[in-house]
């Protein structure tokens, strides 16, 4: 049987990222208004369900930090698909919020097991001077998945109403099964057997050996706050505050996905040329500006802002991951990136619930987005402390 190599490996890893991130996480974001209105009318409960997903992701990163010292990256990645597909299947039939919460937890846990090993598998399949591009291409896969799920949500809700949100998860599950079968058949990764060496503190012992680890972890954590608040509540902000129709709000979410397709690749190439430090500082500032544009509610400005949010949503983590890949060995990458992702996950656990609570207290999403802008500027400040390449 022929197996993947080079850029084919990158493509297959990107397909896996669609299942882990786009289907397993961001489907809920675009369906949040429909799920909220069908199961519960509270933004706080809706935020809690989102928190369940990212809490599982946080737990998963803790587990990955240990698994990657004993098992090959590809083995860990494959195990994650079991949990992701099980979660998608559960969401497709969830009769209430409790069952949906269990399904989202399974998706989040599986997403961590898939995502953490993915950048190293992709980056080491290509040459040293193309690693940023490879990592960015994997992030582009997430963007493609967001486009798919955004359009699915728009079509399903237009035809069948809010109560048909489960149909989107059913389609995601079917596409996920096909994607996983293709990955299992063709994706291979050459890696020497891990030594089984213990890592301290969920991988932070390994992470601390990397130059600039405080700055890159801080920037990644700030990104976790700002992006998840913005993406989770984008459609809610536009529908509830700006008076957008379901179709128009879903279209804006799709534009985020389109931007993410190009964002990872574009910023990966830029970081390959000018370094991660400058790329991150400018990127975070641009992200904050785009969120200000979305707050205006003006359709033309929101269109541009949504695309830019997508570019930064796909691009900023690609630059962060590329930095970790460049500054760690193959064996150290797993625990090091898992540790950075653990800190990032803490932000994700907090941000959906924080956003939902603020929305309920204020009766809108303006302050929610202002908080996201503040975190974006904080990320830029942390990135200034990175060493020059």
Pairwise CA distance, residues 195 & 140, whole Å? 32
DSSP state, residue 199: -
Cα 380 versus chain centre, distance: 19
Pairwise CA distance, residues 334 & 344, whole Å? 15
What domains, with CATH codes, occur in the chain?
Answer: 7-186+201-383 (1.20.1250.20)
> How many degrees, rounded to 5, is the angle at CA 32 between CA 27 and CA 38?
120
Would you state the pLDDT for residue 330?
Answer: 67
Beta carbons of 34 and 157 less than 8 angstroms apart: yes
Rounded to 10 degrees, the C-alpha dihedral 239/54/175/136 comes to 90
Would you state the pLDDT for residue 162?
Answer: 67
Beta carbons of 110 and 20 less than 8 angstroms apart: yes
Which residues, given as ranges, of the chain have pLDDT below 70?
Answer: 1-5, 41, 162, 189-203, 330, 389
Beta carbons of 20 and 84 less than 8 angstroms apart: yes
Q: Which two tokens stand for residue 372?
A: 């996201």
N- to C-terminal Cα separation, the chain: 41
Place of tokens 């953490």: 116
Would you state the pLDDT for residue 389?
Answer: 66
Half-sphere exposure of 331 (CA within 13 A, CB side): 10
Nearest to 330 by CA among 158, 77, 124, 97: 124
Pairwise CA distance, residues 355 & 135, whole Å? 29
The 10s digit of each residue's pLDDT in 131-176 is: 778 888 888 888 788 888 878 888 888 887 767 899 999 999 999 9
The 10s digit of each residue's pLDDT in 304-362 is: 999 999 999 889 988 998 898 888 876 777 788 878 877 787 887 788 778 888 988 99
Beta carbons of 331 and 195 less than 8 angstroms apart: yes
Beta carbons of 293 and 249 less than 8 angstroms apart: no
Would you state the pLDDT for residue 144?
Answer: 84
């Amino acid at each position: 049987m022929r197996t993947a190599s080079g850029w084919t490996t990158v493509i297959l890893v990107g397909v896996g990222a669609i299942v882990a991130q786009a289907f397993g996480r961001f489907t809920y974001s675009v369906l949040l208004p429909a799920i909220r209105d069908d199961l519960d009318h509270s933004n706080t409960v809706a935020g809690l369900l989102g928190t369940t997903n990212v809490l599982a992701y946080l737990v998963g990163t803790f587990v990955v930090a240990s698994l990657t010292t004993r098992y090959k990256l590809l083995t860990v990645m494959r195990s994650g698909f079991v949990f992701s597909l099980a979660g998608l299947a559960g969401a497709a039939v969830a009769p209430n919020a409790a069952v949906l919460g269990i399904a989202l937890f399974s998706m989040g846990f599986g997403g961590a097991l898939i995502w953490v090993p993915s950048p190293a598998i992709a980056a080491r399949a290509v040459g040293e001077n193309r690693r940023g591009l490879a990592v960015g291409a994997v992030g582009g896969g997430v963007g493609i998945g967001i486009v798919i799920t955004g359009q699915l949500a728009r079509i399903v809700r237009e035809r069948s109403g809010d109560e048909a949100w489960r149909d989107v998860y059913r389609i995601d599950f079917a596409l996920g099964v096909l994607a996983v079968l293709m990955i299992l058949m063709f994706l291979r990764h050459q890696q020497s057997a891990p030594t089984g060496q213990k890592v301290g503190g969920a991988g932070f012992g390994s992470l601390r050996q990397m130059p600039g680890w405080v700055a890159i972890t801080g920037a990644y954590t700030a990104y976790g706050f700002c992006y998840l608040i913005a993406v989770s509540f984008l459609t809610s902000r536009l529908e509830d505050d700006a008076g957008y129709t379901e179709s128009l709000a879903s279209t804006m979410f799709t534009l985020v996905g389109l931007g993410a397709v190009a964002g990872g690749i574009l910023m990966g190439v830029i970081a390959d040329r000018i370094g991660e430090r400058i790329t991150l500082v400018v990127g975070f500032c641009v992200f904050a500006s785009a969120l200000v544009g979305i707050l205006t509610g003006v359709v033309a400005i929101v269109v541009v802002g949504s695309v830019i949010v997508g570019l930064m949503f796909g691009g900023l983590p690609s630059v962060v991951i590329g930095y970790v890949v460049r500054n760690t060995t193959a064996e150290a990458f797993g625990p090091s990136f898992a540790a950075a992702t653990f800190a990032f996950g803490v932000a994700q656990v907090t941000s959906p619930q924080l956003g939902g609570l603020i929305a309920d207290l204020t009766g809108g999403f303006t302050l929610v987005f202002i908080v996201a802008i503040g975190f974006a500027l904080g990320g830029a400040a942390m990135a200034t402390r990175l060493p020059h390449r």
